[in-house]
Amino acid sequence: QVQLQQSGPGLVKPSQTLSLTCAISGDSVSSNSAAWNWIRQSPSRGLEWLGRTYYRSKWYNSYEASVRSRININPDTSKNQFSLQLHSVTPEDTAVYYCARTNDGYVDYWGQGTLVTVSS
Protein backbone atom coordinates (compact mmCIF):
# COMPACT_ATOMS: atom_id res chain seq x y z
CA GLN A 1 0.00 0.00 0.00
CA VAL A 2 1.48 3.32 -1.08
CA GLN A 3 1.26 6.22 1.34
CA LEU A 4 2.21 9.83 0.71
CA GLN A 5 2.78 12.08 3.73
CA GLN A 6 3.01 15.80 3.12
CA SER A 7 4.75 18.36 5.30
CA GLY A 8 5.42 22.07 5.12
CA PRO A 9 4.20 25.46 6.33
CA GLY A 10 0.60 26.52 5.92
CA LEU A 11 1.33 30.24 5.68
CA VAL A 12 3.67 31.95 3.23
CA LYS A 13 4.23 35.67 2.73
CA PRO A 14 3.74 37.23 -0.70
CA SER A 15 6.89 37.22 -2.90
CA GLN A 16 8.43 34.40 -0.84
CA THR A 17 8.87 30.72 -1.70
CA LEU A 18 6.32 28.02 -0.95
CA SER A 19 8.06 24.77 0.01
CA LEU A 20 6.40 21.40 0.59
CA THR A 21 7.73 17.87 0.93
CA CYS A 22 6.06 14.54 0.19
CA ALA A 23 7.46 11.44 1.91
CA ILE A 24 6.82 8.16 0.11
CA SER A 25 6.22 4.77 1.69
CA GLY A 26 5.38 1.59 -0.18
CA ASP A 27 7.17 2.69 -3.37
CA SER A 28 10.39 4.36 -4.46
CA VAL A 29 10.85 7.86 -5.80
CA SER A 30 13.31 6.21 -8.22
CA SER A 31 10.68 3.82 -9.58
CA ASN A 32 10.96 3.25 -13.33
CA SER A 33 7.19 3.15 -13.74
CA ALA A 34 5.82 5.86 -11.43
CA ALA A 35 5.81 9.65 -11.66
CA TRP A 36 5.54 12.00 -8.69
CA ASN A 37 3.25 14.97 -9.07
CA TRP A 38 2.08 18.12 -7.36
CA ILE A 39 -1.53 19.19 -7.86
CA ARG A 40 -3.36 22.07 -6.22
CA GLN A 41 -7.01 22.87 -5.67
CA SER A 42 -8.71 26.18 -5.06
CA PRO A 43 -12.32 27.37 -5.36
CA SER A 44 -11.37 29.77 -8.16
CA ARG A 45 -9.11 27.48 -10.24
CA GLY A 46 -10.38 23.99 -9.37
CA LEU A 47 -7.89 21.14 -9.63
CA GLU A 48 -4.68 22.22 -11.32
CA TRP A 49 -1.71 19.99 -12.15
CA LEU A 50 1.55 21.80 -11.43
CA GLY A 51 4.22 19.36 -12.51
CA ARG A 52 6.03 16.08 -11.93
CA THR A 53 9.37 14.38 -11.55
CA TYR A 54 10.17 10.85 -12.65
CA TYR A 55 13.08 8.50 -13.26
CA ARG A 56 13.58 6.59 -16.49
CA SER A 57 17.30 5.75 -16.41
CA LYS A 58 17.75 9.47 -15.67
CA TRP A 59 15.65 12.14 -13.99
CA TYR A 60 13.02 14.13 -15.86
CA ASN A 61 10.78 17.02 -14.86
CA SER A 62 7.82 18.57 -16.57
CA TYR A 63 5.81 21.58 -15.47
CA GLU A 64 2.53 23.28 -16.25
CA ALA A 65 3.10 26.26 -18.53
CA SER A 66 1.64 28.95 -16.26
CA VAL A 67 4.02 28.17 -13.37
CA ARG A 68 7.03 26.90 -15.34
CA SER A 69 9.13 30.00 -14.72
CA ARG A 70 8.88 29.78 -10.91
CA ILE A 71 8.53 26.10 -9.95
CA ASN A 72 10.93 23.35 -9.01
CA ILE A 73 10.06 19.74 -8.21
CA ASN A 74 13.00 17.70 -6.96
CA PRO A 75 13.48 14.11 -5.84
CA ASP A 76 15.44 13.20 -2.73
CA THR A 77 16.52 9.60 -3.10
CA SER A 78 18.25 9.48 0.29
CA LYS A 79 14.94 10.16 2.06
CA ASN A 80 12.61 8.64 -0.55
CA GLN A 81 10.67 11.85 -0.95
CA PHE A 82 10.14 14.69 -3.37
CA SER A 83 9.57 18.37 -2.91
CA LEU A 84 7.80 21.36 -4.37
CA GLN A 85 9.18 24.88 -4.46
CA LEU A 86 7.01 27.64 -5.87
CA HIS A 87 8.76 31.00 -5.97
CA SER A 88 7.43 34.55 -5.89
CA VAL A 89 4.02 33.54 -4.61
CA THR A 90 0.98 35.80 -4.64
CA PRO A 91 -2.42 35.44 -2.94
CA GLU A 92 -3.58 33.66 -6.12
CA ASP A 93 -1.35 30.75 -5.11
CA THR A 94 -3.48 30.13 -2.02
CA ALA A 95 -4.79 26.59 -2.39
CA VAL A 96 -4.77 23.08 -1.01
CA TYR A 97 -1.65 21.41 -2.39
CA TYR A 98 -1.54 17.66 -2.97
CA CYS A 99 1.30 15.35 -3.87
CA ALA A 100 0.24 12.37 -5.95
CA ARG A 101 1.60 9.31 -7.71
CA THR A 102 0.86 8.36 -11.29
CA ASN A 103 1.41 4.76 -12.23
CA ASP A 104 0.23 2.88 -15.32
CA GLY A 105 -0.98 6.19 -16.72
CA TYR A 106 -3.26 7.55 -14.01
CA VAL A 107 -3.10 9.21 -10.60
CA ASP A 108 -3.75 6.46 -8.11
CA TYR A 109 -2.49 7.74 -4.75
CA TRP A 110 -2.78 11.20 -3.20
CA GLY A 111 -1.25 12.83 -0.16
CA GLN A 112 -3.50 14.20 2.55
CA GLY A 113 -3.35 17.76 1.24
CA THR A 114 -1.86 20.92 2.74
CA LEU A 115 -3.73 24.21 2.84
CA VAL A 116 -1.23 26.93 1.97
CA THR A 117 -2.33 30.51 2.48
CA VAL A 118 -0.36 33.35 0.93
CA SER A 119 -0.78 36.38 3.13
CA SER A 120 1.29 38.98 4.91
Query: Which positions lie near another protein, rule CB under 8 A?
Result: 37, 39, 46-49, 51, 62, 64-65, 98, 104-108, 110-113
Q: Which is nearer to another protein, 38 or 55 (CB)?
A: 38
| CA separation, residue 57 to residues 11, 17, 30, 33, 67 (Å) | 37, 30, 9, 11, 26
Amino acid at the residue 97:
Y
Q: Shortest distance, CB of residue 5 to another protein, whole angstroms?
A: 12
Q: Tell me how far, at minimum, the Cβ of 64 lies from another protein, in Å.
A: 5
- The conformational region for residue 15 under phi > 0 = left, psi -120 to 50 = alpha, else beta, is left
For residue 109, which of 25, 7, 43 has the smallest C-alpha distance? 25
Least spacing, CB of residue 16 vs another protein, in Å: 25
- In this complex, which beta carbon is closest to another protein, that of residue 14 or of residue 115? 115
